């Protein structure tokens, strides 16, 4: 990675992936678990309302899914830019 444009594309893509992951996580944990909880209270899942489920388990499960997505996507990005581990 000696040329400057390739570095810029790599880091811009990396920052975009991180930003999207953080927005999704904030939407699920803060949005669904706190802000939209009154709207989701009528929907029952597992004996409790959906807003409570998002606040307690949903945000954790989405966070774990985002970790695996980020690792998968960064491995692919590293291969595309020739900085992957062998």
- Which carries the bigger pLDDT value, residue 47 or residue 9? 9
Closest C-alpha to 70, from 9, 1, 22, 26: 22
pLDDT tens-digit map of 71-80: 999 999 999 9
DSSP 8-class letter at 1: -
Entry pTM = 0.77
pLDDT tens-digit map of 39-48: 888 888 778 8
């Amino acid at each position: 990675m000696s040329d400057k444009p390739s570095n810029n594309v790599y880091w811009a893509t990396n920052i975009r992936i991180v930003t999207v992951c953080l927005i999704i996580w904030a939407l699920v944990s803060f949005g669904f678990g706190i802000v939209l909880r009154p709207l989701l209270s009528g929907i029952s899942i597992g004996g409790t309302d959906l807003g409570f489920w998002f606040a307690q388990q949903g945000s954790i499960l989405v966070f774990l899914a985002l970790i695996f997505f980020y690792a998968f996507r960064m491995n692919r990005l590293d291969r595309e830019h020739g900085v992957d581990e062998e």
